[in-house]
Chain A
Amino acid sequence: GDSVTQTEGLVTLTEGLPVMLNCTYQSTYSPFLFWYVQHLNEAPKLLLKSFTDNKRPEHQGFHATLHKSSSSFHLQKSSAQLSDSALYYCALGNYAQGLTFGLGTRVSVFP
């Protein structure tokens, strides 16, 4: 069945440094991948999602590239901000059941 793997449970870094969160997936069908972000005591919200035409989605300085050859959709940002501290979920679109989520990666950015 479909599954999503996020290898880092916690990422801590200093403000201004680059950040990359890993996401790999297994899917029976041609996949759509998503990144959701959840700030403390808030709802998960869409950060970005893959396009059908292989364009690279970008939002709030974050970007991700879908690589079907390696089944990956890593999230990157060149310079982390304090406000990026949050829980990040990678998710796989499932035609029947909505989204299959990874376990999440908590990002803590320090001054």
Chain B
Amino acid sequence: EAAVTQSPRNKVAVTGGKVTLSCNQTNNHNNMYWYRQDTGHGLRLIHYSYGAGSTEKGDIPDGYKASRPSQENFSLILELATPSQTSVYFCASGGTGGSQNTLYFGAGTRLSVL
């Protein structure tokens, strides 16, 4: 089965601090994604990547940066964390089958910004 690992699983940060969420996949998938999950909003796409070195803005990119240094790793960076970024963040990977792609999700990172 596809494997996507996120770290840390839980994080408490202070307002204005820098937060980095990491994601590693062993599926050899080209595409990777960062979503956040909030009650009443479902899963919303923050950033995605088509492969090493590429990052693209999703639907809600403001306040977030992304980095894809290799096929396996995709990070989400909050340079100046704010309380509104308190959420559960999910990383996912998927192949290059276009709109037929199944996405495989990591277990999530619960972030609290105080």
User: How many chain B residues touch the partner (CB < 8 A)?
Assistant: 27
Q: How far is the CA of A42 from the CA of B58 in the complex (A)?
A: 23
A60 on interface, CB distance cutoff 8 Å? no
- Taking CB atoms and an 8 Å cut-off, the chain B residues in 48-104 that contact chain A are 48, 56, 58-59, 90, 92, 94, 98-103
- Taking CB atoms and an 8 Å cut-off, the chain A residues in 55-111 that contact chain B are 89, 92-95, 97-104
> Given the complex, which residues of B lie within 8 Å of A44, measured CB to CB?
43, 90, 105
> Given the complex, which residues of B lie within 8 Å of A103, measured CB to CB?
40-42
User: How many chain A residues touch the partner (CB < 8 A)?
Assistant: 24
Q: How far is the CA of A100 from the CA of B33 in the complex (A)?
A: 12
Question: Is the pair A34, B102 in contact by a Cβ cutoff of 8 Å?
Answer: yes
A46 on interface, CB distance cutoff 8 Å? yes
- A residues with a Cβ closer than 8 A to B are 29, 31-32, 34, 42-46, 49, 52, 89, 92-95, 97-104
Q: With A43-B108, A44-B90, A101-B43 given, name 8 new contacts (CB 8 A).
A: A43-B4, A49-B100, A93-B98, A94-B99, A98-B45, A99-B103, A103-B40, A103-B41
A-B contacts, 26 listed (Cβ < 8 Å)? A31-B99, A32-B99, A42-B107, A43-B107, A43-B108, A44-B43, A45-B105, A49-B100, A89-B43, A93-B99, A93-B101, A95-B98, A95-B99, A97-B48, A97-B59, A98-B31, A98-B45, A98-B92, A99-B103, A101-B35, A101-B42, A101-B43, A102-B42, A103-B40, A103-B42, A104-B43
